[in-house]
Structure 1
Amino acid sequence: MFNYILVSLRILITSLVLMFFTSSACAMSMDDVEQRMGEAEQLRAAEFSPEHYGEAKESLVDAKKYIQMGKNDKARKALDKSANELEQAILAVQTMSSKFSGLVESRDRMQMTDASYLRDDLVLRAEQDFNRVVKYVEDGNMERAKERAKFALQTLRSAQVVSLRKQFVRPVVLKVAAGRKLKAREYAPKATATAVRLRKEVEHLVKSSPDKQVKMHALAQQGQAKAERAIEVAKLGRKMREDPSMVETLRDAEENRLNALGKQLGINLSGAHSAEQQALLLQQAVLAMQKTYQKQLQDSDKVIASLNAKMGIYEGDLASMNELRRKLQLKRDAEAKIERLTKLFNPDDVEILLTPDADVILRMKRLNFRSGSAVIPPNTYAMIDSAVQSILMFSDRSIRVEGHTDSAGGNLYNQALSERRSDAVKAYLMAKLEESRTIESVGFGEEKPIANNETLQGREKNRRIDIVLLAPRS
């Protein structure tokens, strides 16, 4: 009987302790520590502060055990230790991501590279050097960390150079070599020369700036395209040499194309005896149309000026109406283009939004940067290329790239991170678009959430890049 009562008392005491830790101020501490643990995991504490993070996890497990055993004081000490280790871990993470961002991002690029492009020995050395830097940061020895970071960066860049040559230089080299076998230099000298020049530019970037992978990617694509064009022209040239009658076939096809164009312009090209005469007639027709339109525009301007003079008293109302009409037209035009844009994107990857001011937002939902990093994952290049195609449809709009983060990590940390990420996407777009396009980048940090930062799903939504196509302002 006595034993039964003793067991019952122990169960009661354990229950009371559990209630104490799950419903009191201490429970808040437990909840806070667990939430902080999740934040540390999201910030990659296991990579950037493995000792502090490991100690924090062990202490949290101990705290839960002590609660079960009814050892209140020990549970409190273990919980306090876990919280303290977590704070040190997060501090070390932020130090790595801010003070050694170049090193972190070089390592991220290496890790995101297809393993077939990498040399195992260089990868192993790079990881060892990186881990030494992490150890010095955890120990608070910043001088040694900075010294070791230089060696680590050199090792990482050696690994990068090997992989980048395989990724970006070799494909262009192979295409140019294939064209050489077909005598592409003879049949398509311009395209071949351009492909060779672009290959040299990529090679130079690999040696001098291995971190500029986005630009290498763009140049390599252009180089391959030029080499493929040279191959296509060379194949056509060889066929024409083997079958000279193809020249006449091609000439007839070109003549039919010009006649069709002339028909659309309302002129008869049958009297022209050469391609040069046909082109001249077409040019004259276009110039005549331009003069007609210019005359009509001048007449319209006079009518409009007259009406404006008569209706000056209504100027304010008309200005407001015109502005509303202008915005409405911009929205209608944007809606029509957005309908076509939806075919370019998987809705799970990109969300397309239209604002009241007719700005178009391309929300890159699957452009998932690694925590603390501004390296664009290579598997998202195709998605951003689709965004480039969308931008080309809005040729009269300037572009603003906006970087947003969740609330993990602190305001200053997130602000700097969002700026680096928006700058990275801006650099990608600039490599793909004409220099005349106006592109700005801005980071908003955690200031403009679109979901609840208290949930995992909400934080994931808040970590985003928005590409905003700004409607022309009046």
Structure 2
Amino acid sequence: MRKNTSPTCTAALLTLLCWSMPGQLLAADPDEDALQESIATFKEGENSVYAPRTIERAEAYLGAALMARQQQKIDDERAALNMGEQSVAEARQTAEGFRSRFSQLLDLRETATSIAKIIATSSQGASDRTSAQALADANKELQLAISTHEQGDLNQTQEHAAAAESGYRKLLDQSLPWLADLAENDIGKAANAGAKQFAPETYRTAKERVAALRNYIDGIDHTPPAHPAEALYLAQESKHLAQQVKVWRKDSGSHESMVLENRDFKLKLATILGMEIDQQNSMINNIPREKLLTAAKQLKTALADERSARKAERKEMKQQFEAELAKRLDEQRNELAQAQQSQMSDIREAFKVKLERETYEQKRQQRMHATFKQGEADIFVNLDGSLLIRLSALKFASGSSKINAKYYDMLGHLKSAIAIYADRTVRIEGHTDDQGDVKVNQALSLKRAESVRDFLISAGADGTHLKALGYGEVRPIASNEFEKGREMNRRIDVIIEAAATK
């Protein structure tokens, strides 16, 4: 027998087992409903107490299967279901093995329990408490025997079983004399009630059981009687029957009422069983018991057949639902795949367009760089997509906005450069150092920017895209503390604005 895992480790192990078993699946693929029904049937039966941990493990595998099903992990689900079915089979085998091996011990427990109940209801005081404690101690040892048997520790099982048997026998040895006295007392009461005459069979059996019980107590018979509590029950029943029969015999009537009550009962039972009866002549209906028994058996068979049919119908409906669900899932997966494919196509197309645009833009920038000679201008590309052409070679006389003729070729190159970006707006910005009056510097920077703009227009550039701005000394790019810095601040910047977003 395989040693069981403790409940605290079950949850940790089941996941590992589920994930490691896909290559070892059985040929049959049980479903969750079948496994759940197997577990429920086992737990409802009397064998459940003999393999509690094993059936708990089966329930854990069922939970793992349900979780794997929600996550659509088919292999993991089947592995968990198969492990669950194996656990249920192991629970059955373990329980049946214990009951077969320790059947006498279980019978002994049943006997001790029945006698302890009689003691508990007889108001025996100290005897009640003593027997209850003895029964509890023996039951504890039996439970340990069940637990160690389930874990596969057969040596410990045998030790606990022997201790439980000793406890039950000790309880019987203490209780049987008291039980025999109580039964003999009730036998006497039954005799006084006329049981020997009015309930002879029950009375005779009761006396035999009491005699067998007394022979064991006195050491005449060394084999304990089976079910000793029945001696007391039979003695009490013989007294009750004798009293009832005497009541009937005192009645001098025809006893027709008894017959009619019996007939009415059989008629009602026949109606419930669906038997054909003559409603017009109910007083003369006498339905044989054999027919009632046959009808009851037929009803039982019909109910079993109906349960089987309902079960098959539920299974078929479940299969249809699963097939429909699988179909819908496939359709959704296909739709998702198509959507993803379409999205990837759009992404590839967008990337292609972006790459083409960037390639086109790089080529335009290269052409623009090629229009200027070395040292005429510095070109920068801003993060927003705009371009800055800094005319570092262009110089003006102090306080003047007139363009020297030696810069005409360079400005012609500027015209060619901005023509490459004919679709964009161009700002021509004038800047000065901080020498002199602020307003004068601002006006001078504007005039210089306008001079460049006017030259470009006169050279054929589209004036609608050109703007002239003067910032004076407010946007320096170097320190005005030094001559070199002031020279850098006296400049013309041409901004080709970013393309308008669509």
Instruction: Please classify the TM superposition score into its range, dividing by the shorter chain length.
Output: 0.3 to 0.5
- Give me the TM-score of the superposition, normalised by structure 2: 0.35
- Give me the TM-score of the superposition, normalised by structure 1: 0.37
